[in-house]
Structure 1
Amino acid sequence: MKKIFFSFCIVLTLALSATAQVQSPAEFLPTYGKQITHYHQVENYFKQLTEKSTFIKQQKYGITPEQRDLNVFFISTPENLANLEQIRNNNLAAIGLSKEGNQTIGDKVIVWLSFNVHGNEFAGTESAMTVAYELVNPSNTETKKWLENTIVILDPCINPDGYSRYGNWLREISGKKTHPEATDREHMEVWPGGRYNHYIFDLNRDWAWQTQPESKQRIALYNQWMPQVHTDVHEQGYDSPYFFPPSAEPIHNYIEKYQRDFHATLGANISKKFDAQNWLYNTSERFDLFYPSYGDTYPAYNGAVGMTMEQGGIGAGRAVMMNNGNIVTIQDRILHHATAVLTVVESAASQADVLLKGFRGFMNNSRKTVKGNYKMYVMKNNPKLIQLADLLKKNNIEYSYADASVKTSGYNYSTKTDKGFAIEPNDLIVKVDQQKAVFTQVLFEPNQKLNDSLSYDITAWALPLAYGVEGYALKNSIAIKTKATIEVVEKSVPEKVYAFHIPWNNRISAQVLSLLHQNNIKVRAAMKKAVFGDITIEPGGLLVTKGDNPKIADFEKTITDLIKIKTDYNYISTGFSSNAKDVGGENFTLLTAPKIVLLSGKGVSSTEFGAAWFYLQETVDYPVSVVEVNNFNRIKLFDYNTLILADGDYNFSEEQQKKLSEWIKSGGKVIAMNGALSLFDGKEGYALSPFASEEDKLNSEKEEEDAVLKERFLDYQDTERRDISKSIPGAIIENTLNKTHPLSFGLGDKYFSLKTDDRTYSLLKDAINVAYIPKDYKSYGFIGNGMKKKLTNTVSFAVESKGDGMVVYMVDNPLFRGFWENGNLLFSNALFLLN
């Protein structure tokens, strides 16, 4: 008896000692719950936990553009943490993604918790510390029971750069006392805000596309674990009650019953705890499960129960008064989040068997019983497949290349009809019969079923159209010999070369031209097809001639080293063309290196600026001067030849408009996107107008007036849905191309534009309408009935010459979220090929 009592005392002493050692956030951080925590303090807090608790283990998985660490923390029992690698392999083996399974270790449910994908939603990271503490706190015996069959993977801050940008600003402008009045400056965040990452991208829209370094590194780790539950912790406007699952419609029809059932269970469990505290909340109203690149949908299409948690807090600063007169504080936001997120862990632990069975069934059965109408996708050989293959690889989607030829038929994305075609060597093949069958279908299936038009995001993303390749969807999987890669034979360059040819057919072409310009090498571009023996140079094809660059020492080696990343480059030994397009003739235009200024600042759309900045910094790695709009008068415009205006509200004065017009006429080039077109819309001397004639304008005004009169008799309840009928939240629209214009080079026979707003302009007069929406256009995704007719014969991309300069009108943003690959090439045309 004494021995038992002595052992009990030892255990109790160790427990009390551990409790004393592991500090809560409030004990460790002097301003916790009163002021935002610096990111390095967050890291220090988690370091304290990992040093003093055996229930938590840290793994660095990456680094941000601003050199901050990206970390996850594994939280479970010491026994489970000692067997993490085997548990991971067991999980993957159960769904056919590993052969290293070991049945001697029991099944564990894996719950991944992600906080602060939006940097200014800072209660996420603050609550992550409380969640971690409660999970490892030795005195919390309840959480220890959960961890016996649960592995928690906790990412306290997905977006450290945005979080730090917001945090530094909030601390700088904070006084000693809080100011709950909504007009105080701590509730009015300055441009560009902390929501976004370093490149001003919304990381919560980047899960599938992985354009950003944070996303690439995180998803690589995610796919190594494949959790059963993923919780994405957010904040919304501070007046909004807390949101937790179930999610709103539209919910993709590939979301299975077990996922919906756990949403319902979780909603019931969280609501009980919120009810007990009289906290307000809502479910099933706003946040849907459709667009595949969110922190709830990406996991959902990969078999997990994905979910969004939303606490009212954006713009709240340290404390703010809501419309109901109550003041919401940081402490409130932390408590609400911690309560909801810990309930997720609790619910998952109690339903581990159900979740594991559902997850494994989702992954394994989807391979056996293919969802959707198609079982195989074929992309015809095209240099743009390099980027598409990279996307598939990042998402662990299996693909191969044809190594034989066979005739078949399939649904053609461009024509939206079934047609015969031949699969030929080097065509890219994606079969749905794979472990990631559902996610493969979601990315490739031509027509996604949208069961509710009130979607939170874009409603179409057909990859062949995004990448500008000829694609087919096949109802049956064709047996054909395949290979894993396309072999690239290294070229043997002769000692003497007349000129090097770089085909203009993907983003790598633009990267090479960027390198050549930055090394002061003169480059020409073909305006029409030119033939030199067995070498055909298509429009846009680049030529680097020895004659243009006589001072380059060892011409052949120097140029080869610069252009070798473009593996399909070649060379010609003569300037004499067999079709009368000689190198020294008018067909080959000498390109001018762009000297670029990009406007930023208040009034400019943060994310659209970010898309342009990221393109220049990362996609083509080209120098750019970024200038705040309020410093426009200080710009020496004649030191530049290119001005990029991202979407925004540019409130230029009459004098500034005049300055801009004079610069354009003297040879300047403006690339204006979306809202920036208002600088030229209806302005004297410019062709841009929403209407083709005064009669069209009057007819449109009459239609709008008639619609307003009719709405007087309509019920209030359906107001939002009627507004949706006039909108286009994000659909793919067919465009007819003027293929002879340099802005269209390399894009293909048609251009499919991702249209994300209802802005329309008639076909321009006295300008070149390079891409426009034809009368009977093809489309994918939701377009409101009121918008469908309005889009007919409207321009998407046009070029207007003014004196020696030009304006490139981009009604749609080809750089939207960085994933529209053919848009990257279109923008490259505007930047580099238009002289």
Structure 2
Amino acid sequence: MLNRLLAAAAAVCISVGAQAQSYTPRPVEDLLAQDVTYDSAIPKPEDVTGFASGQIISTPEMLHSYARAVAAASDRVSIEVIGRSHFGRPILRVTSTSPANQTRLEEIREAHMAFSDPGRTAEVTEETPVIVQMTHGVHGTEASGYDSSAPLLYFLAAAQGEEIEALLETTVINQIILINPDGASRFAHDVNIHNAEAPVADPQHREHTGSWPWGRTNHYWFDLNRQWLPVTQPEAAALVDATHHWMPNVAADLHEMGSNSTFFISPGPVDGLHPLLSQAGLELNLEMNELLDEQFSAEGALYVAEERFDDFYLGYGSSYPGLLGGVPYLFEQSSVRGIIQDTERGTLRYDDKIGQQARTAIALIRASHARRQDLLNHQQAFFRESLRLAGENATSAYVFTSHDEGRLAAFLDLLAHHRIDVFELDRAVTASGVRYQPGQSYVVPLAQANYRVIEGLFETRVIEDKTAFYDVSGWTQPLAYDLDYAALRPGAFGQDAIGDQVTARITANEPPANSSIAYVIDWSEFYAPRAVYRLLDAGLHLRVIPDEIELQTEAGNVSMARGSILVPVAGQVLEADAIHELVSQGAREDGAVIHAASSSATASGSDLGGFSLSNVERPNVLLVTGESVNSGDAGELWHLLDHHMHMPVVMIDAENLSDSDLSGYTHILLPDGRYDPLGESFAETLSGWVEDGGVLVATRGGARFAAEQEIAAVKTVDTASRPEDEAPSGPQAYATIDDWDVEHTISGALFEGVIDTTHPLGYGYRDATLPVHKIGTTAFATGEDPFATPLRYASGDPILSGYASQRNRDALAGLGAVHATRRGEGSVILFADDPYFRAYMLGSSKMVLNAIFFGNDFRGSARGEGQ
């Protein structure tokens, strides 16, 4: 015990000593540590912002002000706005090159695009510039990644001498400042409010821990470094569009990692490279690293490469540019998460971190310049090879369609961001049992320059070998969007099937005719809930039709699927003309398919005044937030309801829920998180609220908590757990522990789900199969109620794309992915997975909306109130 006390006392002394040290940021020239002189006409960061680099965490506005001041003072620098964040903050592209190049930037860009066009021949001359892109601030909490943009820009604008002038003559450097301004603004606020004359290095200090939801993510709490492929966020759209606009030869992302780490540079594990990425590009990466090694060695700095951060997921900044013939780079350096912090490697200083990021970026620019001809030749060869690979592929094109105009339009928008040519299908094609009709279907030929991007989006790759993944292993986008799609072989596809090229689809529908009886809304359209919420918010009474009906209209009978929404005209708070205007707005703005009934009687199915119809109540949704909650999962639910459906969402932190008045909320959303520390009172609060008529919708960790606390009568199954009767295989060599982990976990794959389309949670789905994103090994056991699992993993082998061990695939087959049960007057609806993962699982996201609009419209197998 005495030894422990002495050790603790020593640790305190060390900590106090570290806290008491003074901190004055070093001048920018010292941070850069370059053997050059600087033009005194170019302002330094402190001349514009009032703070030296490393003195505080710079806000986006400060960095933008500095970039504009440098551009005004230097003929080497120009600026344009390439997009805006969710919150409306600008995202800048700051371009540095020689003054002569600045006068002909568009000419240079146009000439450079020839290197990515396999139909053109581009000659590499001594004057041909190489294009380098630096993306600052993907993660708002990784501040040196964006604060280093200022000293790097200062160097590019102010450094003098033959070396820098020669470099700028044949190099164009595009700095993206900064791609996540909303997250960076949150983090800067969290740190800067603790700014102290005597800085505190203790890692437990509030300055270093921040506050939920922290600043890593964007306004809706999305990780933008996973967004290059799905492009569901405006910041990602700006970045992907900007990358295609210039097609950089080298594209670097500047990040931070744990405080006890060193400095990581790409590549990750060489055997973890996605097969669509280029081995030639990997070799260039390794060769350029020799020059970066010289930089680290000269500083006496430790670094690491070829470990941990694999480049298999194609939605990273360290992978996606490789699909465009560039060499992607990831920088990850140890993070201060403040101004100074004690770590295993000593006390970190923020100005040091800024300086090292900037110096490494300069080294990469020099390495790019040194390998300029190789990089340009590689890009040209890359796209020629892409066409060759497309020609050798057994698939010649992909065809796709959907009855849902909203999901179809979103998918076409995704392809447009990736510069993929899409054409209307000009003649009917049958593939995989589906008839694709012209006027409703689209075709994507593989013989395109961006062939590898197409494959990265469309291909299904089931991985059988045991493989560890840093991120998800399966993400096939047509499956995520729940589209009908198929690969076409050359014999089933020819030029006669290609119609006009398209880039977008208009989702607006014709308003319905006037009706004095009722309007009926097709629930299957993605934005139908937005139209329905607008009507409910206006005070209208709506009903849901639980069966298929043949609606009578003046234009003839119309077949309507289960879950169609009835809007009666009589007995409402609005007059008939106002109701017609609201439903017409839903057709025009939301793409809702709405029909005007000519009779209350139907040709088949429930009449519009039938007994089986039930009320649709206006949802008043509470989203549980706070320290115990996974901010990413919470942000997805907020984004789905607020951004897409224009529904207000109340947020209350979990620790405050027991003291809150919950009586006015119809739904509580419990995202993934760790709720056990909140105690029994938290579970009792939720249970009582459900019994009084509320609908609890819980996902992943929230669902496990609800099951374990018996808020729902269901047992969870963890397929990673060894069954009791399974004999241990004996002691294992420790070197095989990674293989053991891979066998027992699922990092993220696409599974086939089987959905009950007759259940209220299945309303709006046209067929019984639904792709789901599976992460983790939790599922729901099938209990006594045979109607409680409206979505199950398919029997047999449920995997569609990605990696899951055969052990897990076999164990999950047939288990519940969604469990729905009644409790008292309310309901508990549990999702084993994340139904709106990264905002691209548009297919399964409808089940969340069904839970919100129809959450109390089912019963259990036993009759009676509350069953």
TM > 0.5: yes
- Counting only pairs closer than 5 Å after superposition, residues 719-798 of structure 1 correspond to structure 2 as 719-747=737-765, 748-766=767-785, 768-779=788-799, 780-798=801-819
Q: Tell whether 2:188 aligns with 1:188.
A: no
Task: Give how far 1:244 is off.
Answer: 0.7
**Any conservation in 2 of the 1:252–1:449 contact (CA below 8 Å)?**
no
Q: Which residue of 2 aligns with 1:3?
A: none
Q: Which residue of 628, 651, 661 corresponds with 1:603?
A: 628
Change (3 A) 1:489 1:148: closer
Q: Which residue of 2 aligns with 1:557?
A: 581
Letter of the structure 2 residue corresponding to residue 542 of structure 1? I
Task: Give how far 1:640 is off.
Answer: 1.1
Letter of the structure 1 residue corresponding to residue 289 of structure 2? G
Question: Aligned to 2:238, what secondary structure does the other structure show?
Answer: helix
Task: Give how far 1:580 is off.
Answer: 3.7
Change (3 A) 1:478 1:687: farther
Task: Give how far 1:330 is off.
Answer: 1.3
**Any conservation in 1 of the 2:509–2:593 contact (CA below 8 Å)?**
no
Question: Aligned to 2:739, what secondary structure does the other structure show?
Answer: helix
Letter of the structure 2 residue corresponding to residue 569 of structure 1? I
Q: Which residue of 1 aligns with 2:398?
A: 377
Q: Structure 1 CA distance, aligned partners of 2:298 and 2:201?
A: 26
Larger deviation, residues 631-640 vs 114-123: 631-640
Change (3 A) 1:823 1:141: farther
Q: Which residue of 2 aligns with 1:197?
A: 218
Task: Give how far 1:451 is off.
Answer: 7.4
**Any conservation in 1 of the 2:818–2:829 contact (CA below 8 Å)?**
yes
Larger deviation, residues 821-830 vs 379-388: 379-388
Q: Which residue of 1 aligns with 2:692?
A: 666
Q: Which residue of 2 aligns with 1:612?
A: 637
Q: Structure 2 CA distance, aligned partners of 1:449 and 1:142?
A: 48
Question: Aligned to 2:818, what secondary structure does the other structure show?
Answer: strand
Change (3 A) 1:558 1:725: closer
Larger deviation, residues 520-529 vs 530-539: 520-529
Q: Which residue of 316, 339, 358 corresponds with 1:294?
A: 316
Q: Tell whether 2:494 aligns with 1:478.
A: yes
- Counting only pairs closer than 5 Å after superposition, residues 40-55 of structure 1 correspond to structure 2 as 40-55=61-76
Change (3 A) 1:776 1:659: same
Task: Give how far 1:240 is off.
Answer: 1.2
Q: Which residue of 2 aligns with 1:74?
A: 95
Q: Tell whether 2:480 aligns with 1:457.
A: no
Q: Tell whether 2:422 aligns with 1:399.
A: yes
Q: Structure 1 CA distance, aligned partners of 2:743 and 2:403?
A: 37
Residues 538-596 of structure 1, C-alpha deviations (whole Å, 9 max, x = no match): 01222222135363241433421333232643322112111142111134332111111
Residues 751-797 of structure 1, C-alpha deviations (whole Å, 9 max, x = no match): 21101112233124336111112431331211134423331332111
Larger deviation, residues 778-787 vs 99-108: 99-108
Q: Structure 2 CA distance, aligned partners of 1:496 and 1:760?
A: 47
Q: Tell whether 2:607 aligns with 1:571.
A: no
Letter of the structure 2 residue corresponding to residue 478 of structure 1? G
**Any conservation in 2 of the 1:500–1:544 contact (CA below 8 Å)?**
yes
**Any conservation in 1 of the 2:788–2:821 contact (CA below 8 Å)?**
yes
Change (3 A) 1:205 1:698: closer
Aligned-residue identity in percent: 23
Question: Aligned to 1:639, what secondary structure does the other structure show?
Answer: coil
Change (3 A) 1:266 1:17: closer
Question: Aligned to 2:707, what secondary structure does the other structure show?
Answer: coil
Change (3 A) 1:616 1:557: closer
Q: Which residue of 2 aligns with 1:238?
A: 259
- Counting only pairs closer than 5 Å after superposition, residues 106-505 of structure 1 correspond to structure 2 as 107-248=128-269, 249-313=271-335, 316-324=337-345, 326-370=346-390, 372-383=393-404, 384-407=407-430, 409=431, 412=432, 424-447=438-461, 453-476=467-490, 477-479=493-495, 480-484=497-501, 491=510, 493-505=512-524
Change (3 A) 1:559 1:140: same
Question: Aligned to 1:532, what secondary structure does the other structure show?
Answer: strand
Task: Give how far 1:690 is off.
Answer: 2.3
Change (3 A) 1:471 1:497: farther
- Counting only pairs closer than 5 Å after superposition, residues 591-670 of structure 1 correspond to structure 2 as 591-650=616-675, 651-670=677-696
Q: Structure 2 CA distance, aligned partners of 1:100 and 1:487?
A: 37
- Where does the alignment leave 5 or more consecutive residues of structure 2 unmatched? 1-35, 857-867
The TM-score with structure 2 as length reference comes to: 0.87
Q: Structure 1 CA distance, aligned partners of 2:207 and 2:742?
A: 34
Q: Structure 2 CA distance, aligned partners of 1:354 and 1:75?
A: 22
**Any conservation in 2 of the 1:668–1:804 contact (CA below 8 Å)?**
yes
- Counting only pairs closer than 5 Å after superposition, residues 51-66 of structure 1 correspond to structure 2 as 51-66=72-87
TM-align CA RMSD: 2.8
Q: Which residue of 1 aligns with 2:821?
A: 800
Q: Structure 2 CA distance, aligned partners of 1:33 and 1:71?
A: 21
**Any conservation in 1 of the 2:396–2:447 contact (CA below 8 Å)?**
yes
Q: Structure 2 CA distance, aligned partners of 1:302 and 1:406?
A: 31
**Any conservation in 1 of the 2:754–2:794 contact (CA below 8 Å)?**
yes
Letter of the structure 1 residue corresponding to residue 782 of structure 2? L
Q: Which residue of 2 aligns with 1:527?
A: 546
Q: Structure 2 CA distance, aligned partners of 1:697 and 1:297?
A: 30
Q: Structure 1 CA distance, aligned partners of 2:681 and 2:509?
A: 56
Task: Give how far 1:391 is off.
Answer: 1.4
Larger deviation, residues 247-256 vs 594-603: 247-256
The TM-score with structure 1 as length reference comes to: 0.90
**Any conservation in 2 of the 1:129–1:156 contact (CA below 8 Å)?**
no
Q: Structure 2 CA distance, aligned partners of 1:833 and 1:141?
A: 70
**Any conservation in 2 of the 1:376–1:475 contact (CA below 8 Å)?**
yes
Change (3 A) 1:140 1:118: farther
Residues 257-294 of structure 1, C-alpha deviations (whole Å, 9 max, x = no match): 33112211122111121112221111100111121211
**Any conservation in 2 of the 1:253–1:449 contact (CA below 8 Å)?**
no
Task: Give how far 1:94 is off.
Answer: 4.1
**Any conservation in 2 of the 1:506–1:825 contact (CA below 8 Å)?**
no
**Any conservation in 1 of the 2:752–2:771 contact (CA below 8 Å)?**
yes
Question: Aligned to 2:287, what secondary structure does the other structure show?
Answer: helix
**Any conservation in 2 of the 1:252–1:450 contact (CA below 8 Å)?**
no
**Any conservation in 1 of the 2:520–2:595 contact (CA below 8 Å)?**
yes
Q: Tell whether 2:531 aligns with 1:512.
A: yes
Q: Structure 2 CA distance, aligned partners of 1:809 and 1:452?
A: 30
Task: Give how far 1:520 is off.
Answer: 2.1
**Any conservation in 2 of the 1:108–1:151 contact (CA below 8 Å)?**
yes
Change (3 A) 1:588 1:38: same
Q: Structure 1 CA distance, aligned partners of 2:222 and 2:583?
A: 35
Aligned residues: 801
Question: Aligned to 2:198, what secondary structure does the other structure show?
Answer: coil
**Any conservation in 2 of the 1:690–1:761 contact (CA below 8 Å)?**
yes
Change (3 A) 1:18 1:267: closer
Q: Which residue of 2 aligns with 1:20?
A: 40
Question: Aligned to 1:465, what secondary structure does the other structure show?
Answer: helix
Task: Give how far 1:697 is off.
Answer: 13
**Any conservation in 2 of the 1:595–1:640 contact (CA below 8 Å)?**
yes
Q: Which residue of 2 aligns with 1:11?
A: none
Q: Structure 2 CA distance, aligned partners of 1:833 and 1:213?
A: 31
Task: Give how far 1:468 is off.
Answer: 1.2
Task: Give how far 1:297 is off.
Answer: 1.5
